[in-house]
Structure 1
C-alpha cells in the first residue's frame, strides 16, 4: 500500500457526497417550497447530506489519525464538526420555517430558499477547500 493511499481514499470518500450534493441541490431551485412535498424532499436531502458528512468525516478523521497525519485529520475533523453542529442548527431552522409555512406565514418559503442557498454556498466552499488541500496531504507526487 502506498504511503498516500489512506489520504487519497479519505479525500475521495469525502468528495463523493459533497460533489453529489453540489450537483443535486440546484435542482431544488426549480421546486416551489411553499408546497409541502417539495419542501419535505429538500429537508430530506439536507438531512441525508449532513448525516453522511458526519459519518464519513468521523471515519476519515480516525483513518488519517491512524495513518499518522494529524494535521489532515484536524481538517477533516473540522468538516465533521461542522456537519454535526451546523447540521443540527440548520435542520432546526428548516423545521422552524416549515412550521411557519404550515401556520400560514407567506415569507417562510422565501426564508427556506435563503437557507437552501446558504447550504449550497457552504458546501461549495468546503468542496473547493477540500480539493485545494489534496496536494498538501499527500507526501509524494
Structure 2
C-alpha cells in the first residue's frame, strides 16, 4: 500500500467510530436520563465507543509504525492511550451516577447529563484534531 493509502486507511479506521459517535450521542439530549433503559443505553454506547476506539487506535498505530511514520504513530498512539485509560475512569463515574440515581438522588441525572456533555465534547475535540491533522499525515512520507 502506498504511504498515502496507509494514511487514508488509518484515517477511515479512526474517523468512522468517532463520526458515528458524534452523530449518535446528541439524540440522548432529547430524552431524560432518569429513565433507566435510556441511561443504560447511553452507558453501553460510551462503553462500546471506548472499546472500538481502543481497537481502531491499536490498528492505526501499528499501521503507521509499519509504514515508518513515527510522528503519526505517536499521535494515534496517544489517542489509543486515552481510550484505554479513559474508559475505566469515565465508566466508573457514569456507574456512580447511575447508582446514585437508582438510590434516589434527584441530582444524579443532572450530573449524568454533564458527563454525557463532557464525553461528547471530548470526542468532538479529538475528531477536530484528527481532521485537522489529515493534510499533514497525508503529505508526510
Query: Considering the TM-score relative to the shorter chain, is it more than 0.5?
Result: yes
User: CA separation in 2, counterparts of 1:78 and 1:124?
Assistant: 16
Instruction: Please list the CA deviations of residues 26-58 of structure 1 after superposition, one character each: whole Å capped at 9, or x if unmatched.
Output: 000012111110100000000000000000001
2:10 aligned residue: 10
TM-score normalised over the length of structure 2: 0.96
1:20 aligned residue: 20
1:31 aligned residue: 31
> Does 2:139 match 1:139?
yes
Instruction: Please list the CA deviations of residues 41-96 of structure 1 after superposition, one character each: whole Å capped at 9, or x if unmatched.
Output: 00000000000000000111011000000100010011111111111100000000
Runs (5+) with no aligned partner, structure 1: none
1:101 aligned residue: 101
User: CA separation in 1, counterparts of 2:50 and 2:109?
Assistant: 21
Q: Secondary structure at the match of 1:82?
A: helix
2:113 aligned residue: 113
Runs of at least 4 residues off by over 6 Å: none
Select between 1-10 and 91-100 the one with higher mean Cα deviation.
Answer: 1-10
CA-CA distance at 1:123 after TM superposition: 0.5
Q: Secondary structure at the match of 2:139?
A: coil
User: CA separation in 2, counterparts of 1:128 and 1:139?
Assistant: 18
User: CA separation in 2, counterparts of 1:71 and 1:107?
Assistant: 44
The size of the alignment, in residue pairs, is 140
CA-CA distance at 1:3 after TM superposition: 2.2
RMSD across aligned positions (CA): 0.9
Runs (5+) with no aligned partner, structure 2: none
1:53 aligned residue: 53
TM-score normalised over the length of structure 1: 0.96
